[in-house]
Amino acid sequence: MSDGDWNEVARAVRLDVAHVSDVHVTGTTFHALRREMAQATFPVSSVTTSPWLHGIRRDVAVIVRTVAMRQTGESAKPPSPTHTLAIAEIDPPLFAGLRMMSRDLGAYFGFAKGDEPTGHPSLDTKFLAYGFDMMRVREIFLPRGLPDRLGDGIGHASRSCSIVVKDSTVEAMALGANADAARVDGLADIATSIAREISVRARGLSQRPLEVAAREAWQRLAASLGLSIDPLRWHLFGPLGGAEVSAMLEGSPPAVSTTFRARFRARLPCAFVLRRGYRERNLLQRRAKGLGFPELDDLLVLQAADREQAAGLFADPALRMLLAEEARTSNLVLDDREIVLARGGFAGTKEIAARLRALVAIVDRMTPPTAKQGPFR
């Protein structure tokens, strides 16, 4: 479909359009996809983009995009998009390591063994389910131990499209990338309806003693650092050392991850993205270059509208040392607005404090201390 066609679809389904470079799409959580969408919209002439539709439907955040899917065993990625995908946010995330998918998707994702039944007959006959906390999953789909209408509704919806449910997203997928407004509207409606009901139930999930203790530890840390906290979403945020920072636990199947962010006090003077160069088959590796500093070029790749101007931001050797230290142990993404570190697993309070202070040190070296900034969105 042309950009004009997508603009027509967006108007028909009352969503906005963002043009996103496919080389950036690495996120598995809804928060990560939202960050990728923001980071990947700056103009770089050598990179092609595809339109994403995004907005709010029935009080649920949703993204609609096309994806290239290939069955496991095929040697090459499809040359063009093959499916249309609507992704709706589950808020708060389930933190159960959940990957529940329509059985017809097993050929694409390669999951066929090790699945665990939920106990809901409408789901177990049509879906494969994986997770490290299936008790929490069953609490969603079998309240009071009894199958109910949510599982029945998901099973019924899977007759018209493929469905994937993860910790923070519901995905409704249909074959074909030339989707019209009716198809996009139908997929978005299915995804948002399911995500909305799961979100309501997620707010009332029971907590284990270790979980209660961990939340209390995060609350004490927030108080000691002068940060605000949203304990339901495992989110610390606020000003630290004059910089706006954030630490958030994200459900990232098959586990969880902790994401740390710090916003620069003023937007940097050129559009760029600097990130870990770990995906050899990704276009990012072929179209991005290093900074020209050996201590970083083995870890990070740069994509920029003006490469020389962007590289000049990293002339400070102490700054490069800080970035290299963090990039060795985290998935680092840095653009002209903020720096993000993603670490697998649940971070303890000592690590959170250390990571946030390291990000503040990087911000101090990259932006003037007198510049003003706004809070995270």
Residue 281 pLDDT exceeds 80? no
More confident residue, 165 or 293: 165
* Torsion sign across C-alpha atoms 220, 221, 227, 233: negative
Position 278 scores a pLDDT of: 47
Task: Report which DSSP code applies to 302.
Answer: E
- For the chain, the structural domain boundaries read 3-202, 209-366
pLDDT, tens digit, for every residue of 40-65? 555 544 456 788 999 999 899 999 99
pLDDT, tens digit, for every residue of 60-102? 999 999 888 878 777 666 668 889 999 999 999 998 989 999 9
Query: The sheet that has 331-335: what strands, in order across it?
Result: 228-230, 235-240, 243-252, 255-263, 338-344, 331-335, 272-276, 300-304
Mean pLDDT of 341-345: 88
Which CATH number does the domain 209-366 belong to among 3.20.20, 1.20.1630, 3.30.1460, 3.40.50? 3.30.1460
For the chain, the first-to-last Cα distance in angstroms comes to 31
In terms of average pLDDT, the best of 43-52, 222-231, 338-347 is 222-231
Residue 283 pLDDT exceeds 60? no
106's tokens: 């097993």
Q: Is the pTM of this model over 0.75?
A: yes
Strand partners, 286: none
How does residue 209 score in pLDDT terms, banded at 50, 70 and 90?
very high
7's tokens: 């603009």
pLDDT, tens digit, for every residue of 167-198? 999 999 999 888 789 999 999 999 999 999 99
Position 22 scores a pLDDT of: 59
More confident residue, 125 or 281: 125
* Torsion sign across C-alpha atoms 66, 71, 77, 80: negative
How does residue 303 score in pLDDT terms, banded at 50, 70 and 90?
confident
Position 326 scores a pLDDT of: 93
Residue 285 pLDDT exceeds 80? no
How does residue 367 score in pLDDT terms, banded at 50, 70 and 90?
confident
Position 142 scores a pLDDT of: 95
**Whether 265 contacts 242, CB under 8 Å:** yes
Position 282 scores a pLDDT of: 42
How does residue 255 score in pLDDT terms, banded at 50, 70 and 90?
confident
What is the rounded (10 degree) CA torsion for 356, 357, 359, 360?
120
Mean pLDDT of 274-281: 59
